[in-house]
Amino acid sequence: MLAAPLLLASGCASLGGNVKGSFACRAPEGTCAPTSAIDAGAKIINDVTGFRDPAMIELASETGVGVAVMHMQGTPRTMQSNPRYDDVIADIRSFFEERNATLTAAGIDSEAIVFDPGIGFGKTQQHNLTLLRHLDQLIVSGRPVLLGVSRKSFIGRILKSDDIADRNWPTVGITAHACALGVPLHRVHEVKPNLDALRMAEAMR
CB 63 within 8 A of CB 38: yes
Q: In what order do the strands lie in the sheet with 113-116?
A: 113-116, 66-70, 44-47, 19-25, 6-10, 185-188, 146-147
Say whether 160 is catalytic.
no
Of 96, 137, 116, which Cα lies nearest the Cα of 187?
Answer: 116
Say whether 192 is catalytic.
no
- Of the residues 20, 99, 152, 167, only one is catalytic, namely 152
- Of the residues 26, 99, 167, 187, only one is catalytic, namely 187
CB 90 within 8 A of CB 44: no
Q: Which residues contact 30 (CB under 8 A, 6 or more apart)?
A: none
CB 137 within 8 A of CB 124: no
CA 74 to chain centre: 17
Pairing of strands 113-116, 6-10: unpaired
Tell me the Cα Rg of the chain: 16
* Active site residue ranges: 152, 187
